[in-house]
């Protein structure tokens, strides 16, 4: 959850192309030799099902560019691999006055940079990004909202145009939108599941049905969305939130579903680690049950993984696995049992 970009101007989309990267340790530990595919309601890699247990680390690109900090990327990836995590979600763009910035100023974009990202050579293996199977998928944007058009049609038109453009450059990789999962006008009764029943100018159903969108994403931050409510209320919301989205991915979209961001902040009043672990366990249990029973595949990515010595990135949601053994145990357990389903 990019907290500093979470307050959207109503008609402004923050175009933030993200990469979802396959880690060397994924199902059965075999090296990736083909691209991840979306086949029906599941991900498939090298002829086997692939279930995702991963993490967010938006900071990878700019930390890796600093030779004095690059070891933190290595440390974070080692910890992730040691706990069986198989996909990382990170920024694939630069902002402001930086090198080849995608957004040069608020609302002003360099479209050539957008194309250049997908056609850039991977400096480690020399493969052009659009031809690199290390990349799991592209994400168009983080948490789009357009509150002056609660129907979701404005966001839908934008996604339709951009999805077609991305696929015209890169037909190898999966593509998703980066939505939080809010419901819109297509199924009005579903709006009751939005936080406090509010509308956010997106539509989980119609946008994820667009051509070129290969799987659905959902975010889950009941501690932020229902600020001031207690843990019991937040956990009940989470259970309903996941249940309805899994049902819609299974029966309506018929596509995999990735809970691409979830977390619970230790900065919230009354926080305790047992409640955070209960939150993680609930997310993981719902993902696992949906996969095990054959309803729908996909997985989850917690927000966010950092390495030791990265206090400057502390947002309350960060996890240093070596310093959080009880949470790390839940993460490892989820990796093991999802991997056992990769047949």
Q: Which residues are catalytic?
A: 143, 261
Task: Dump the DSSP string for 10-43.
Answer: TT------EEEEE-SS-GGGPPP-S--EEETTEE
- 179 near 218, Cβ under 8 Å? yes
Under DSSP, the state recorded for 245 is H
Q: At what angle do helices 273-292 and 231-248 cross, to 10 degrees?
A: 20
Q: Which of 334, 326, 252 is nearest to 287 (CA)?
A: 334
- Alpha-carbon distances of 145 from 102, 194, 204, rounded to whole Å: 20, 13, 12
- 289 near 299, Cβ under 8 Å? no
- What is d(CA 197, CA 193) in angstroms, rounded to the nearest whole number? 6
Q: In the sheet where 42-45 sits, what is the strand order?
A: 37-39, 42-45, 48-50
Phi, psi of 144 (to 5 degrees): -70, 140
- What is d(CA 201, CA 198) in angstroms, rounded to the nearest whole number? 10
């Amino acid at each position: 959850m990019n907290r500093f970009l979470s307050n959207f101007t109503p008609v402004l989309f923050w175009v933030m192309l993200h990469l979802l990267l396959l880690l060397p340790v994924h199902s059965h530990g075999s090296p990736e030799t083909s691209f991840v595919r979306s086949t029906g309601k599941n991900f498939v890699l090298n002829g086997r099902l692939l279930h995702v247990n991963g993490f967010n680390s938006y900071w990878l690109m700019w930390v890796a560019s600093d030779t004095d900090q690059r070891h933190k990327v290595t440390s974070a990836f080692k910890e992730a691999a040691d706990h069986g995590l198989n996909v990382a979600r990170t920024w694939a763009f630069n902002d402001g006055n930086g090198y080849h910035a995608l957004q040069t100023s608020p609302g002003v974009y360099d479209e050539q940079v957008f194309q250049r990202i997908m056609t850039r050579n991977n400096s480690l293996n020399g493969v052009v990004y659009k031809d690199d199977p290390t990349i799991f998928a592209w994400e168009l944007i983080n948490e789009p909202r357009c509150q002056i058009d609660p129907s979701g049609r404005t966001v839908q038109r934008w996604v339709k145009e951009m999805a077609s453009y991305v696929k015209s450059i890169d037909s190898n990789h999966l593509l998703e939108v980066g939505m939080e999962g809010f419901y819109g006008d297509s199924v009005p009764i579903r709006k009751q599941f939005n936080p406090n029943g509010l509308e956010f100018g997106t539509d989980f159903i119609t946008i994820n049905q667009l051509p070129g969108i290969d799987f659905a994403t959902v975010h889950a931050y009941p501690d932020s969305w229902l600020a001031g409510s207690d843990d019991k209320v937040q956990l009940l919301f989470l259970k309903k939130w996941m249940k309805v989205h899994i049902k819609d991915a299974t029966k309506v979209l018929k596509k995999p579903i990735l809970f691409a961001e979830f977390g619970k902040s230790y900065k919230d009043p009354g926080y305790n680690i047992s409640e955070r672990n209960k939150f993680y366990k609930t997310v993981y249990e719902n993902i696992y049950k949906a996969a095990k029973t054959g309803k729908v595949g996909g997985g989850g990515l917690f927000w966010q993984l950092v390495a030791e010595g990265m206090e400057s990135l502390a947002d309350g949601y960060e996890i240093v696995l070596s310093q959080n053994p009880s949470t790390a145990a839940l993460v490892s357990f989820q990796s093991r049992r999802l991997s056992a389903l990769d047949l």
